[in-house]
Amino acid sequence: MTARRFLLQGRVQGVGFRYFACTQAERLGVRGWVRNLPDGNVEIHAETDPEILDEFSRLIRSGPRMAHVVDMSTAVVPEEGHKYFVVKR
């Protein structure tokens, strides 16, 4: 089990990105959260097996149809022990 923080920049707010990330996370069994940041970026905390996180990373880099991710940074972070994946408001 590992945890990663993703920070996505580009056209990632107002395009359903958080709900896209939540759907993909639930489908893959990823736990954690996603939230919009005041600066227009999206932050994701994701926990699961490293191989699944690699797939999740690939999916969120593409994003939903109307999104355009121009940059995505990733960092290994401590696990928070989430049981589900949620959209934070």
**18 is an active site residue:** yes
3-class state of residue 47 by DSSP: strand
Q: How far apart are CA 59 and CA 47, in angstroms?
A: 15
| Adjacent-strand bridge partners of 31 | 47
Distance spanning both ends of the chain, measured CA to CA: 26
Averaged confidence pLDDT in the chain = 97
pTM above 0.75, yes or no: yes
Average pLDDT over residues 10-16: 97
Q: Looking at 5, 11, 36, 61, which residue is catalytic?
A: 36
Q: Looking at 18, 41, 65, 89, which residue is catalytic?
A: 18
> What sections of 7-84 are H helices per DSSP?
17-28, 50-62
**41 is an active site residue:** no
Q: Give percent above pLDDT 90 in the chain.
A: 98
The CATH number that domain 2-77 falls under is: 3.30.70.100
Q: How far apart are CA 61 and CA 70, in angstroms?
A: 9
- pLDDT at residue 89, rounded to an integer: 84
Domain boundaries, the chain: 2-77
* Residue 76, pLDDT above cutoff 90: yes
